[in-house]
Structure 1
Amino acid sequence: MDQLVEKALINIQAEALFSKDNLQQAINKGEEKAREIQVPVTICISDISGNPRMLYRMEDAKLVSLTLAPKKAASALLMQAETKDLNKDTQPNGELYQIETMMEGKLVTFAGGIPIFYHEKIIGAIGVSGGAVSEDQLICKTTVNAFLKGE
């Protein structure tokens, strides 16, 4: 019984992280980092079902980032891994070679997508697009950290 109660409490706490205020403060921190490194991006925060709970495109962010940020979040969620870690396995002779084709273009395997783990359970993912992949990754990591602080 204690395990069920603990599991229920974790689920409630995890859902509380998706409050409008917390989503907004996480986006704000990501945007702050993007402005600091002078890279306009789109940031997408998705829940465990893959539904975007907040999507924000900075002024002057590349229009393609509106498509890629949610795909990066979805890819991190589906694969339960950072998208940067998928790249080497999807190259020719890699274990996951051609998975993007098999997934009809729904999977992104370059940096900028990070799953969100809370108490070792995946609860969602964040995707960032608009800069070089290393810049997207940095902004995404900043956004994930802010989201998990739950300020």
Structure 2
Amino acid sequence: MQLIETVNALTHNGVMAMLSAGISRAEEMGQPQCIVVVDGSGEVLGEIRMTGAKFLSRKSALAKARTAASTGAETTAIPEPVRLQVAAATGGAVTALPGGLPILYRGSVIGGIGVGSGSGEQDIAVGRAMLAALG
């Protein structure tokens, strides 16, 4: 019986690299964003509300990051017919809004990214730039 498990985890350097890449991409687009990075259990590792980003978008960015970390898939993967029910059942903790991406490493979910304040396409583009920063 195994009592201790070795897990992969993001370091603070990884989180900072991702935030920096996200900020750079958002600035290139001219769209300030709220960006949240969580670990595999949904705990916040880093976040920023860029100057000019909508303050309520921080809440949706957190929900997106936690949803992606919990499901291991992009938030848009939640099936259309159950989106409203899942959101209601979780008090808004789970969302299908675009901009939530899982952070995968060697086949395991080690975290999630949530981006909000732009269009869905902009949010996803910033998230993808963040993932690319991890190599």
Does TM, normalized by the shorter one, top 0.5?
yes
The structure where helix makes up a greater share of residues is 1
Number of matched residues?
Answer: 132
Paired position in structure 2 for 1:125 = 112
* 5+ residue gaps, structure 2: none
Q: Is the 8 A contact 2:83 2:95 kept in 1?
A: no
Paired position in structure 2 for 1:109 = 96
Cα drift, residue 54 of structure 1: 0.3
Structure-to-structure mapping, 1:39-54, within 5 angstroms? 39-54=31-46
Q: CA RMSD in A?
A: 1.7
> Residue deviations 1:70-105, cap 9 Å, x none?
11001112222101222xx23xxx255511111111
Partner Cα distance (1:24, 1:61) in 2: 19
* One of 55, 58, 63 as aligned partner of 1:63: 55
Cα drift, residue 55 of structure 1: 0.7
| Off by >3 Å, runs of 4+ in structure 1 | none
Paired position in structure 1 for 2:70 = 78
Greater CA drift, 74-83 or 134-143: 74-83
Paired position in structure 2 for 1:100 = 87
Partner Cα distance (1:42, 1:24) in 2: 15
Asked if 1:143 corresponds to 2:133, the answer is: no
| TM-score, reference length from structure 2 | 0.89
Q: Is the 8 A contact 2:69 2:111 kept in 1?
A: yes
Cα drift, residue 20 of structure 1: 2.1
Cα drift, residue 35 of structure 1: 0.5
* 5+ residue gaps, structure 1: none
Partner Cα distance (2:131, 2:57) in 1: 18
* One of 4, 21, 28 as aligned partner of 1:29: 21
Partner Cα distance (2:58, 2:91) in 1: 18
Partner Cα distance (2:98, 2:64) in 1: 8
Cα drift, residue 135 of structure 1: 0.4
Structure ID, larger Rg:
1
> Residue deviations 1:17-39, cap 9 Å, x none?
x2222211111111110000110
Q: Is the 8 A contact 2:63 2:92 kept in 1?
A: no
Partner Cα distance (1:95, 1:62) in 2: 27
Letter in 2 for 1:107: V
